[in-house]
Structure 1
């Protein structure tokens, strides 16, 4: 990933199990200018039990009660469809990504040369998947919804161990040793980006607390981004202004489509506008150096002032403050030096408003 904001258009499960719909989502993401389009890869039986209930937002958004298993079966992206989507992404000039929710899916994704492996918020406490992802030795984007700093630290300890070792940890002490070691910290810096996130669809802006991005950056010394589940564009744009290096945002072809995530997703024109706005903001961020921009230099002469004669002055006449004024343009002595001209003899004759010579 480059130094600019890496924008992930999150298609997720908004393909509703249709490869054709998934291809259309790739087209929309590419036309919007996203860096990557991301799906979700899982086998429903490997992810949830038959008794697992839906989250309330899933019930609200699907307008039906029931369990996760039946819902997720309808939303699976078959493994055999991945190559077709990967090829379509190559054709459209956009990177393919997907989140793996089980060991089999993660192994498949590890072979696809994606820009990064994404760890979803729900799996930040799933040690085996964290370890498996780390041992792929690829870039990792770790979403932190529902997490405390302690949760994140434990996850990073597993990841650090996995980046350094091929086996499994024998104790928590071994994980902590990997996390605390200079080698482990460097491995994390080389591989991991953390995403601030609020796991609610949609998330109210009052729940977001973007300042938590600063807290995570300071606590772990890692790049930080934002996975946005709010409605609208504003919060993602604000996250970029606050230093997010990655933005992830759900999108759909039509918010009225059936499914758990469509209602909290952007439609195509909104996605395009968000990417455009982020590119403007990242340009505006520039550097931390405070100084005149190149485009301002000519304007300094127009907007700043110079010391001028307030009334006619004869050569050799003693200058006093009542004989001087300060007016535009800024092509002469700065008014910051006006006090130091007092009691000097005038070097020339001056008419009203003429610049005083240095």
Structure 2
């Protein structure tokens, strides 16, 4: 699927689309993203002419009220820049792909030999477009912001109808930025329960990495987070993007979680083998007990260490005799009894 998409390991995408307009800016973003340890960088592929009518506006916290057409026109990038950015990402060992917004964009990305397509939430219910993307046979990552569950089912079925079942679903909230009370990570688990055959993840638009880490702990196989070299840079997405220190923290936290998650089998850890013996408790002699003496309840106590007879057998050794002298504090074992 993707070179770095590995079983039992969260796939981390740095979304750099919209945060650059020149190759030098993109190069800086890719360098920083690679240093943070992400798996992939993602662009946004669109032309203002095919994406937005002149009447469409943005009215969001990160943009204010502005013309969508004018904003998209400012940040659209041509095929040559796409190719240069993709080639550079290759040199850094990163996977790369993009979010097309029109059939023409898909065709251009296909010419670039893209390995997958990411569908933004704005096209999550655009069934003709989903069918067209699915017909290319590439893996599809679908963000589901603004969707009801029934709409997600309809969209997945539309792609299935084209013979493409290589789909990853991302829970997302299309608010820029998304505040904690709107994140609703349980909806991601609803997607997982509804589509047990598909990998599920989370596309984040919050102002901190906490939601991403929580999503991974709740089962996300893919995390997508906007990425910038400077939160104060010009452009609407920089403010809700992770900067290098934040992204590095997130990647390290996710990888630490994956180690701590373990096998799920409840058993002593390897590191506990010594402490099982030293820190558990056993039955010990409460006073000096002479060989042949029968043990009464007052003759024994429960104390550390834990390599003798376990406390659960306390009542069973009452009335037994000791085979040899047992000084006070001696740890009883079965061989010391008759």
Q: Provide the TM-score with structure 1 as the length reference.
A: 0.88
What residue in structure 1 maps to residue 237 of structure 2? 261
What residue in structure 1 maps to residue 17 of structure 2? 12
Structure (1 or 2) with the greater helix fraction: 1
**Following TM superposition, by how much is the alpha carbon of 1:218 offset from its aligned partner in structure 2, in angstroms?**
0.7
Gap regions ≥5 residues in structure 2: none
Distance in 1, matches of 2:84 and 2:307, equals: 65
| 1:213 correspondence with 2:218 | no
Decide whether aligned partners of structure 1 residues 357 and 259 sit closer, same or farther in structure 2, where only a CA change above 3 A counts: same
What residue in structure 2 maps to residue 76 of structure 1? 76
What residue in structure 1 maps to residue 173 of structure 2? 198
Distance in 1, matches of 2:299 and 2:199, equals: 58
Q: Deviations over 1:225-249 (max 9, x none)?
A: 1111111121111111111100001
Q: Secondary structure at the match of 1:55?
A: strand
**Following TM superposition, by how much is the alpha carbon of 1:114 offset from its aligned partner in structure 2, in angstroms?**
4.2
Q: Deviations over 1:144-202 (max 9, x none)?
A: 11111101000011011012xxxxxxxxxxxxxxxxxxxxxxx63xx111111111111
What residue in structure 2 maps to residue 283 of structure 1? 259
Please tell me whether the aligned partners of residues 50 and 69 of structure 1 are also in contact (alpha carbons under 8 angstroms): yes
Aligned length: 328
Q: Deviations over 1:38-66 (max 9, x none)?
A: 11011111111111111323433xxxx43
Q: Secondary structure at the match of 2:104?
A: helix
Distance in 2, matches of 1:152 and 1:42, equals: 23
Distance in 1, matches of 2:183 and 2:120, equals: 17
Q: Deviations over 1:192-226 (max 9, x none)?
A: 11111111111111111212221111111122111
Distance in 2, matches of 1:113 and 1:357, equals: 70
What residue in structure 1 maps to residue 36 of structure 2? 32
Gap regions ≥5 residues in structure 1: 164-186
Distance in 2, matches of 1:26 and 1:137, equals: 27
Distance in 1, matches of 2:136 and 2:272, equals: 49
What residue in structure 2 maps to residue 170 of structure 1? none
Distance in 2, matches of 1:57 and 1:106, equals: 30
Pick the aligned partner of 1:242 from 192, 203, 218. 218
Please tell me whether the aligned partners of residues 60 and 175 of structure 2 are also in contact (alpha carbons under 8 angstroms): no
CA RMSD of aligned residues (A): 1.5
